[in-house]
Structure 1
Amino acid sequence: MVTATTPLETELLRLAGSVPDPELPVLTLAELGVVRAVRLRGADAVEVELTPTYTGCPAVEAMALDIERVLREHGMREIAVRTVLSPAWSTDDITAEGRRKLREFGIAPPRMRTAAEPVPLELGPTRTRQARTESVDCPHCGSADTELLSRFSSTACKALWRCLACREPFDHFKEV
């Protein structure tokens, strides 16, 4: 739920959302879906609500500083970036454009799920070939013939996979 009510709040929301994600600079914060609201608190004061991808996300401070810098450059003197944990961020918050950019960047985007569909959690061997219904399509060649190499990759929100068709490794943004 992204909120802005005045034309200036809409513009400030656009500016805050245009900030690149510090861990995935191919995506903006709007495409990632973490900027939730912008509220004016005076002629040159604004509050921005930011929901991290997970509670302990180390990039929140960098995001907040980058948002503050961009909004200061556009005339805001007082900027408060507030972390909001409810409602929790979900991979469903990533925009279609964000998913496209992840795929082009070589990261398999998270699968879309319905609100009633739970995110599966499986414990077992690290290296597993997934059943066809649970495969992650390779962002390089599109093959569904892939295997999980590690449940964690360069960041906690990604897993490391390998395509068995083109043999390329790739990250998959986990569903949350």
Structure 2
Amino acid sequence: MGETGTMTSFSPSTGVRRTGRDPRPDPGWCRPVEEGQRAYRAAASVVDPEIPVVTIEDLGILRSVEVDGDTAIARLTPTYTGCPAVLAIELAVEAALRDAGFEPRVERVVSPAWTTDWITPEGREKLRDYGIAPPAKASNSIRALFGETEVACPRCGSGETARISEFGSTACKALYRCEACHEPFDYFKCI
């Protein structure tokens, strides 16, 4: 708890939440909110080591950041349990929070499981600009679950594409080829 007996939490879905044990008005109420936002921004700036153009916020991996005194607690949900980048991301978040002046703590949250639906619109656009086709359909689509997905080429926009391999540069991506421009590209699979 901070000096006033309060704790702040910040997440993109809930915003800032202030809870406290001290019922008296807190004359410094802005400081905890600013600290929570500063901690969140620091963690949110961490880029994915496998796709360096998107942040963990863009991918929806960062669930929340809570500030308790000098400690910032970041909650992350890995894209999948066996993802080799999980430890690298957690260490990068710790470093970012430490650089921002906090004592870092990272907690791995596995429920609910991450889904490609959590990728932000900005993240999808960044993937496309980088040459990776973002997930085409909602993760709960029966067609997406069985790999019957129409994928547009991120380079020319053509829908005339063919899957070359179920696995691309990483396990969460499939390798496709555009029949119009003949370029290969990764497709971020629906999960």
Alignment TM-score, normalising by the size of structure 2: 0.80
CA RMSD of aligned residues (A): 1.8
* Alignment-derived partner of residue 127 in structure 1: none
2:81 aligned with 1:55:
yes
* Alignment-derived partner of residue 117 in structure 1: 141
How many residues align structurally? 164
Shift of 1:83: 0.7
* Alignment-derived partner of residue 75 in structure 1: 101
2:111 aligned with 1:96:
no
* Alignment-derived partner of residue 10 in structure 1: 37
* Alignment-derived partner of residue 19 in structure 1: 46
Show CA shifts across 1:109-164 (max 9, x none): 01242x863463338xxxxxx6xxx3200001100000000000110000000000
* Alignment-derived partner of residue 156 in structure 1: 171
Uncovered stretches (5+) of structure 1, i.e. residues with no partner: 124-129
* Alignment-derived partner of residue 146 in structure 1: 161
2: distance between equivalents of 1:39 and 1:49? Answer: 8
CA contact (8 A) 2:176 2:186 kept: yes
- Percent sequence identity is 51
Please tell me the residue identity of whatever aligns with 2:92: D
1: distance between equivalents of 2:159 and 2:52? Answer: 26
2: distance between equivalents of 1:25 and 1:146? Answer: 25
Alignment TM-score, normalising by the size of structure 1: 0.86
CA contact (8 A) 1:2 1:35 kept: no
Please tell me the residue identity of whatever aligns with 1:120: A
Change (3 A) 1:119 1:50: farther
Show CA shifts across 1:33-84 (max 9, x none): 1000111222x112110000001111111111111111111111x2111110
SS of corresponding position for 2:58: helix
Uncovered stretches (5+) of structure 2, i.e. residues with no partner: 1-11, 18-32
Change (3 A) 1:52 1:139: same
Shift of 1:11: 2.0
Please tell me the residue identity of whatever aligns with 1:142: G
2: distance between equivalents of 1:99 and 1:116? Answer: 18
Please tell me the residue identity of whatever aligns with 1:61: L
